[in-house]
Structure 1
Amino acid sequence: MLPAMIDIGVNLTDKRFADDREAVIERAREAGVSRLILTGTSLECSERALALCERFEGQLYFTAGVHPHHASEFGADSQRALESLAAHPACVAIGETGLDFCRNFSTPAEQTAAFERQLELACSTGLPLFLHEREAHSRQLDMLRACRDDFERAVAHCFTGTREELYGYLDLDLHIGITGWICDERRGAHLLPLLRDIPPGRLLLETDAPYLTPRDLRPKPKSGRNEPAYLPHIARRVASETGETEAALRARVLANSEAFFGL
């Protein structure tokens, strides 16, 4: 029997799961994905993730954070609300947080301020960071470097960057989250040779569902929606590049995930 898997990044509160969340969780379990970590991208989203975790105790965990797209919503009460969420036993990380200068749905100044507060929270709670970054790598590295001695762990969620960017994170002892982006021959081919550069203990796997459905998945899901049940497909793709058996790869990533999130 293959080792179980943990999907470290699932947007299960997304409206695309509104009609069948329980079925999605069950399909994941049947596929060998026994635990899901729900991504908090706003206070409201984090609170809904917490409620789901209380319904599915032991199967679901969540991150509490404000995504850079929502940084403009980060007000005077946001830090207190995040502190309360972070104290819940099912909360395993602070985030999704970071910088996104690609779309700038919130201004760079708003993003920086919200990120600073969430960095402080990770430092004070000892919880790991669940990081997002787009077109802001240098600035994000500078901010992480400035407080690297004060936070425990961090993962570059949904890493899609260059070799130079990968080594920027690795030099700070960060973990790397890999998604079905590697299954996209148009956009993800550059990542495949980088998989061997990720130290064995720092690789984590995620779907980022309902986004980033693996392009080479057969049969293609009629809805086009990604699900945690497809995580083993990503694991097989990674194993084929690293030269490991699927069982060995899954065992390694399971150990990494449990250690990183304290499960």
Structure 2
Amino acid sequence: MFDIGVNLTSSQFAKDRDEVMSRSVAAGVDGMLLTGTNLHESQQAQALARQYTRCWSTAGVHPHDSSHWQASTEEAIVALAGLPEVVAIGECGLDFNRNFSTPQEQERAFLAQLHIAAELQMPVFMHCRDAHARFLTLLEPWLDKLPGAVLHCFTGSRQEMQECVDRGLYIGITGWVCDERRGLELRELLPFIPAEKLLIETDAPYLLPRDISPKPASRRNEPAWLPHILERIATWRGDDPQHLAAITDDNVRALFGIAF
């Protein structure tokens, strides 16, 4: 099993990162993609991907940090993208839910990163929250120029999912689907995601699955919980977990061009 979304740079992992990685291996996680959400964390993610086996990273700027985008940021992201550990541009996109950066700043940074990905022929690792229509409007002209794209931590509607899949996007599903308070709509659309477009992730240390039993003492999520998320997704889709794990692993290889 491959976890496509791990925020291993988080301070929540500072004291026991080695143990977290050991637990993930013991749980059957064969590889992971470490997420870069700003320039500093992208540099950290790349360094951690070099440090740990079967890890790769992204390089990009999250919409929350888009106000910091400038020419020097672009140059640094391009330099990072040339390193062997970096296999995608992002996390980039739009988040109109919180608007920590203005919509205009978010759009500028998103388009700049789509341009980088197209120029370098790298896939994009994307974020979208409360911005679906504008997100697709900005993305669509680039789709035929990109080798691939994933919308990570998808939490939208069935129609939004279908519109993304129709445009060739992969869909990343997290433990959000295990939350009986807010994940039921997402749970219901799981059977409609084509298996060849499905990817799984923890988004650790965030989104600890609420249906884990017994509940861990800490509310921190870890990559070691990926098998639980996979099993629950498979159940709600009516799939065999091992078969689904094999398919999603193949999807990782196809999108990111990595061997694990």
Task: Name the TM tier (shorter chain).
Answer: over 0.9
Q: TM-score, normalised to structure 1's length?
A: 0.96
| Per-residue CA distance 1:158-179 (angstroms, 9 max, x = gap) | 0000011111101211000000
Residue of structure 2 in register with 1:154 after alignment: 149
Residue of structure 1 in register with 2:219 after alignment: 224
Residue of structure 2 in register with 1:167 after alignment: 162
| Residue 188 (structure 1) aligned to one of 183, 188, 207 | 183
**Given residue 124 of structure 1, which amino acid in structure 2 is its aligned partner?**
E
| Residue 171 (structure 2) aligned to one of 176, 180, 183 | 176
Structural mapping, 1:197-212, within 5 Å: 197-212=192-207
1:51 equivalent to 2:69? Answer no
Residue of structure 2 in register with 1:117 after alignment: 112
Residue of structure 1 in register with 2:210 after alignment: 215
Residue of structure 1 in register with 2:27 after alignment: 31
Residue of structure 2 in register with 1:128 after alignment: 123
| Residue 235 (structure 1) aligned to one of 206, 230, 235 | 230
How far did residue 120 of structure 1 move? 0.2
Contact 2:195-2:244 within 8 A present in 1 as well: no
Residue of structure 2 in register with 1:258 after alignment: 253
* Matches of 2:55 and 2:142, distance apart in 1: 30
1:62 equivalent to 2:57? Answer yes
How far did residue 193 of structure 1 move? 2.2
Contact 2:148-2:255 within 8 A present in 1 as well: yes
| Per-residue CA distance 1:22-46 (angstroms, 9 max, x = gap) | 1111100000002111000000000
**Given residue 69 of structure 1, which amino acid in structure 2 is its aligned partner?**
H
Identity of aligned residues (%): 52
Q: Secondary structure at the match of 1:216?
A: coil
* Matches of 1:36 and 1:22, distance apart in 2: 14
Q: Secondary structure at the match of 1:33?
A: coil
| Per-residue CA distance 1:85-106 (angstroms, 9 max, x = gap) | 1111011110000001111110
| Per-residue CA distance 1:102-146 (angstroms, 9 max, x = gap) | 111101111010001000011011111101011111000001112
Q: TM-score, normalised to structure 2's length?
A: 0.97
Q: Secondary structure at the match of 2:145?
A: coil
Structural mapping, 1:72-151, within 5 Å: 72-151=67-146
User: Matched residue pairs, number?
Assistant: 258
How far did residue 228 of structure 1 move? 0.2
| Residue 248 (structure 1) aligned to one of 243, 248, 256 | 243
* Matches of 1:236 and 1:72, distance apart in 2: 39
* Matches of 1:148 and 1:35, distance apart in 2: 27
Q: Which runs of 5+ in 1 are unaligned?
A: none
Structural mapping, 1:11-22, within 5 Å: 11-22=7-18
How far did residue 55 of structure 1 move? 1.3
Which segment drifts farther, 237-246 or 7-16?
237-246
* Matches of 1:180 and 1:156, distance apart in 2: 15
**Given residue 54 of structure 1, which amino acid in structure 2 is its aligned partner?**
R
Post-superposition, which runs of at least 4 consecutive aligned residues in structure 1 deviate over 2 A?
none
Residue of structure 2 in register with 1:41 after alignment: 37
**Given residue 10 of structure 2, which amino acid in structure 1 is its aligned partner?**
D
Q: Secondary structure at the match of 1:133?
A: strand
Q: CA RMSD in A?
A: 0.8
* Matches of 1:182 and 1:136, distance apart in 2: 20
